Homo-oligomer: A and B are copies of this chain.
């Protein structure tokens, strides 16, 4: 066996200016989407870029600043619906579905976003759009603000729930174990749960359908009437 071939050959010095913020953010997002947020490491990022660990620090202050920038960039890719064509409720629905889509397509980035406040021009535009639609739908100022936050909370919560649920179900045989556990429950202690077991499993494995069910309910409840229940 030849010992002369080292496992990690001494990387030749990276050419000057081959690195830049954009390349770094691209690599970060790739890493995040492919391997999940706990695999997002400064060392891993540098390796992905074919560069020494500390090279990245010439372009960003640290990991936090990179996470921030990735979150920013993602938010700015949300496409707002054309507008004007449909009624406010339908447009609000489209906006929320768009945000949900983005979050489920970039599961690990969602965890970054949940940590930091929403800023960046496109995120601001999104909030403005939603508030405008809520006012158009006839909500008073305070109601529009509350409704907006509620919609965001539901959307973020659903996306988070969904990505974590689906990651858990990816585990070896997890789906069968869940099914078995449900089947083993005593029917008389948990009558409703046992009776609805198949529907529950189904609702949990649906993705967008489940989200839209709740979203429609929420929109109906928030916009439907001014009557307090």
A: which residues have CB within 8 A of B? Answer: 89, 114-117, 119, 124-125, 127-129, 131-132, 135, 141-142, 144-158, 160-161, 164-165, 168, 178, 181, 185, 189-193, 195-196, 199-200, 202-204, 210-211, 213-214, 216-222, 224, 228-229
Total copies of the chain: 2
Bound Cα distance A183, B191 (Å): 54
Bound Cα distance A75, B203 (Å): 22
A181 & B119 in contact (Cβ 8 Å cutoff): yes
Label chain A's interface by main secondary structure. helix
Query: Shortest distance in angstroms between A111's beta carbon and chain B's nearest beta carbon?
Result: 10
B202 & A145 in contact (Cβ 8 Å cutoff): yes
Known: A131-B196, A200-B148. A178 touches B141 (CB 8 A): no
Contacts of A148 in B (CB 8 A): 200, 203
Bound Cα distance A224, B220 (Å): 9
Contacts of A211 in B (CB 8 A): 153
With beta carbons under 8 angstroms apart, the residue of B125, B156, B168, B218 that contacts A214 is B218
Bound Cα distance A128, B148 (Å): 31
Contacts of A199 in B (CB 8 A): 141-142, 144-146
With beta carbons under 8 angstroms apart, the residue of B124, B155, B156, B189 that contacts A193 is B124
Contacts of A202 in B (CB 8 A): 142, 145
